[in-house]
Amino acid sequence: MTQLSLPEIPPYDEQAAAAARQRQNRLTKPTGSLGRLEELSIQLAGIARSAAPRIERKAVVVMAGDHGVVAEGVSAYPQVVTTQMVNNFLNGGAAINVLGRHVGAEIVIVDMGVAADLDPHPDLLVNKIGYGTANIAVGPAMTPAQAVQAIEAGIEIAVSLIEQRQIDIVGTGEMGIGNTTPSAAIAAAITGQPPAEVVGRGTGIDDAGLARKAAVVERALEANNPNPEDGLELLHKLGGFEIGGLAGLMIGAASRRVPVVIDGFISTAAAMIAVTLSPGVRPYLIAAHQSQERGHRIMLDWLGLSPLLDMDMRLGEGTGAALAISLAEAACRILSEMATFDDAGVSDREG
């Protein structure tokens, strides 16, 4: 199989995390009273190697790609919607654009494998690996070389954003009709769970469609028989160009000590690929929310991640990631801007 060269991931800084925890315990509040916000600030400190991490420049990277498996009737929407929604992103009219503006995050749109040529746009990055993947129900999604290309493109995008635009935190988003099916196949392959336990309704398919989708995932696993411990093989046989790109994005960001906020079901499948390829990525990941997709909790449990939000969301696009980025920024501000008992002249608890 084609060789993949991955950047080194620096270790999580336990000393910086300990210093952040010590400071949290001296802030003018009962210890632990800000709950997950405190733990998030400590994680961000360990990532940044600083007891006072800062988040100022934020980005959500939305990667788009099409999927040959739509031929199996696994989506309620036609494939052309991928192209139409990418244009909507570029025109600023989608949910992710609204939430990006709300939290002050730049939205980066990437064509990783849309099944059409998009009109040139100054805000569109074109890294098209192919015009959609092949049908995973009958064979591999892509060639091994294309899998490598997708991951390396994601790494390059992350490094470029961080080095050229000084991005402090990256959120992941995606667009691709049919992409919950390869994501479910990846989840089933890695966790060993039966397809019926991880397959969800995606864009809103009915009961018959749900049963058909689970059967398609079963066929994909039988047709491809991927090695669950080989991230590149999983991507090559079951994945999507945007899934590979997001996995690379996570690896690239972690290599530069930048936290990654993963969105929902598809982004979490990409995170599973990333961690399988490069286990050191795991401490750099923040789970934005609990998706309505059935298998999402199983995937998050495998990653050892607890979602920050549970709002019955299942849109994708990076919408959950955008909301969670605002929590990450709030966590950093609490840690660095809130007064300690000593600063404020407030009496600490007795004993």
Segment 278-332, tens digit of pLDDT: 999 999 999 999 999 989 999 999 999 999 999 999 999 999 999 999 999 999 9
Residue 242 covered by a domain? yes
Residue 348 covered by a domain? no
Q: Which of 317, 329, 337, 350 is catalytic?
A: 317
Residue 265 covered by a domain? yes
Say which CATH number the domain at 120 has.
Answer: 3.40.50.10210
- pLDDT computed for residue 207 by the predictor: 84
Averaged pLDDT, 48-57? 96
Q: 229 an active-site residue?
A: no
- In the chain, % of residues over pLDDT 90: 91
Which residue range forms the structural domain that includes residue 218?
58-329
Comparing CA positions, the residue from 165, 66, 158 lying closest to residue 112 is: 66
Order of all β-strands in the sheet with 169-175? 124-126, 105-113, 58-65, 169-175, 260-262, 285-287
User: 30: alpha, beta or left, given left = phi > 0 and alpha = psi -120 to 50?
Assistant: beta
| Residue 35 or 206, more confident | 35
6-20, 115-129, 146-160, 333-347 — which is least confidently predicted? 333-347
Question: pLDDT at residue 151 above 90?
Answer: yes
Residue 273 covered by a domain? yes
Residue 178 covered by a domain? yes
| Residue 347 or 337, more confident | 337
Residue 16 covered by a domain? no
Residue 270 covered by a domain? yes
Comparing CA positions, the residue from 292, 289, 248 lying closest to residue 270 is: 248
Count of structural domains, the chain? 1
Residue 12 covered by a domain? no
Q: Is the pTM for the entire model greater than 0.95?
A: yes
Find the helix or strand (DSSP H, E) in which 233 lies: helix 231-238
Segment 249-288, tens digit of pLDDT: 999 999 999 999 999 999 999 999 999 999 999 999 999 9
For the chain, list the strands marked E by DSSP. Answer: 58-65, 105-113, 124-126, 169-175, 260-262, 285-287
